[in-house]
Amino acid sequence: MSLRARDKGEQAQKTLYDAYTRLADRAAFAHAQANENMKPAGVIEEPATVPSIKGITPKASVGTASNMETFAQIQKDLSVAQRSRGTLQSRLHDVSDNLQRSNLQAAIDKKRLDELASEKVALARRLRDRDEELRGKAKLLEVGVAISGLRRAKK
């Protein structure tokens, strides 16, 4: 029960989470760009601490050139991955919007097709009725002409 409530709360805040994620992606991108632009050629920035991943601490000593190069490469890879994620997220949003618009247009078109089909059926019915009416009037005229011809013949 509490998981459902939590999920409902998270879904209600989804736009906020998405906006924060986009902001974090832009900040990481800007930070990576600033670091790349500020470094003199050949100088590797030494981080204050080496982050641990899921409680795993690095076994090699902090500060060696190899570790610094590895850390710089990981940082660069993270920056590239975050840019890629932002790009993909933007494309997903655009495609989702396009799909939603297309589905809405398809629903409108289907409704219009249904209306046109029912109008076609109604017009066909009216045309048949009009044809029957004209045939009936033509018969009445034939009968009227025949009767008037008989009256003249009697006179």
pLDDT of 49 over the 60 cut: no
Lowest mean pLDDT: which of 18-27, 85-94, 118-127? Answer: 18-27
Cα 40 to Cα 25, 37, 74: the distances in Å are: 25, 8, 19
Contact 38, 31 (CB under 8 A): no
pLDDT-derived band of residue 16, with 50, 70 and 90 as boundaries?
A: confident
Whether residue 94 is predicted with pLDDT greater than 90 in this model: the reply is yes
